Structure formats: C-alpha cells, structure tokens
Amino acid sequence: MTFDLSAANNEAKRRLIPALEGKGAHLCFEEAIEDFPDKLMNQKPDNVPYTFWHQLEHMRIAQWDILRYIQDPGHQSPVWPDEYWPGQNAEADRSAWQRTVDQFLADRQELSELIQDPGCNVLSPVKHMSNRSILRQALLVVDHTAYHLGEFVMGRQVLGAWQSALDL
C-alpha cells in the first residue's frame, strides 16, 4: 500500500479553508461580530482583563504574525505578550474596530489564497520555519481564532448582547 502525498495535500487544503472561515464545528468570525453594539467595544465583562476590541485586535495580530511567518523568512514576531495585545487602556472607536475587522478578514483571505495555490504543499516542512508545515501554522490560526471567538460570544452573552439559537 502506498501513500499518495498529492491526494493527502489536496484533502488537507480542501478541509483547511472551511475551518479558517469558521464553517463546520467552529463559530464564524462574521457571525460572532454581527450587529455588535458600539457601546460595548471597550467594555470588559466582569473578571475579564480585556475588552471586546482587545480580543479582536489580538486575533488579528496573531493571525497576521502567523501569515507573515509563513511568507517571510526574515519575519520577526511581536514580543509576547505585550505586542500581541493592545495596551490595557487602549480603546477603539467604530473606525478602529472596522480597521481591525477588515485587516483580519484580508489576512484570512490571503492565508486562504496561499493555501489554495496549486504550488503550495501544506504538508511539507517549510525550510525557514524550523521544520514546520503550513498545515501546522494554519491549524494554529483555526484553533486560536475559535478559542477567542468562543470567549467573545460568551462575553456577549454575559452582557446580554447575543441571541443564540437556544434563546429563540
């Protein structure tokens, strides 16, 4: 029995794109932020050290960092944790919120396009990435985003700004 690396690569790509977009078992980014009230952007739910905008900006920075890490052998990641989060007192207005959302979606699209490129083998180690594959990095994005979107929606629920299907 032989292992068809090309078929495995294609199957991995086919499954990665929906996962990045929050389809299947994961919450969709667009649904999580839909109709988000401006008055809550800079709100910290009780016992949570960051605001809703801080969470979105953190997801954006982490995804951007992983994308650049894949693309650029000379990329220097931000310093953890300080440069992966906005300052504790940093606030956003609607314009800053929208910039965060737009950049998150643009970087997600760029990562999707990179994965879908016919010349991209997501299973093979990438030379400059310490023997790591694009598949590994993309799964980090999926996992990290799903985790924080779960927190985001839970915060919305706590503050009464989320209507789940169970509430209907």
Q: Where are the domains of the chain?
A: 5-167
Strands 132-133 and 125-126: antiparallel
Helices (H), the chain: 5-20, 29-33, 52-71, 94-116, 134-158
CATH topology of domain 5-167: Four Helix Bundle (Hemerythrin (Met), subunit A) (1.20.120)
Q: Are 109 and 101 in contact (CB under 8 A)?
A: no
pLDDT value at residue 168: 47
Q: What is the DSSP track for 17-55? A: HHHHTT-TTSPPHHHHHTT--GGGTT---TT-SS-HHHH
Structure tokens, 143? 């996992």
The tens-digit pLDDT sequence of the chain (168 residues) is 566 789 999 999 999 999 999 988 778 999 999 999 999 999 999 999 999 999 999 999 999 999 999 999 999 999 999 999 999 999 999 999 999 999 999 999 999 999 999 999 999 999 898 889 999 999 999 999 999 999 999 999 999 999 865 554
Q: Does the model's pTM come out above 0.85?
A: yes
